[in-house]
Amino acid sequence: MPATTEGAKGNGKLRVAAIGDLHVMEDSVAPYRELFTEIANSADVLLLCGDLTNFGKTTEAEILAEDIRACSIPVLGVLGNHDYECGQPEKVCSILHEAGMIVLDEQAHEIDG
């Protein structure tokens, strides 16, 4: 990802927010929606850095997906070891991707040039 780009504020700098170890659980209710809204007001892109779910359950991924849908900036991320625990990382990726997250797996992704 280039260090400079137009960014949301047009100042030539890309503002990146990164968070990991979210560990969304099945009983969570919009656990990160408010935080993602705050981040969207201050950053141009949000990076989710692994262990997004607690056990890699599809219900956990669906809860996080709702919060991702509410985020108004691009969301990119990678899975962590917890996201593989139930043996269905492809389903977790699919749910998050359908919500708008760009799931990275050894590839690059360019944001706004």
Rg of the chain over all Cα atoms, to the nearest angstrom:
14
Higher-pLDDT residue of 107, 32 = 32
Q: Which residues contact 85 (CB under 8 A, 6 or more apart)?
A: 55, 56
Closest by alpha carbon to 16, among 48, 45, 51?
45
**Given the structure tokens 């359950």, which residue do they identify?**
57
DSSP notation for 6-59 = -TTTTSSB--EEEE----B-TT-SSSSHHHHHHHHHH-SEEEEES--BSS--HH
pLDDT in tens, 38-90: 999 999 999 999 999 999 999 999 999 999 999 999 999 999 999 999 999 99
Q: For residue 30, count other CB atoms closer than 10 A to its CB.
A: 13
Q: How far apart are CA 96 and CA 3, in angstroms?
A: 26
pLDDT at position 3: 36
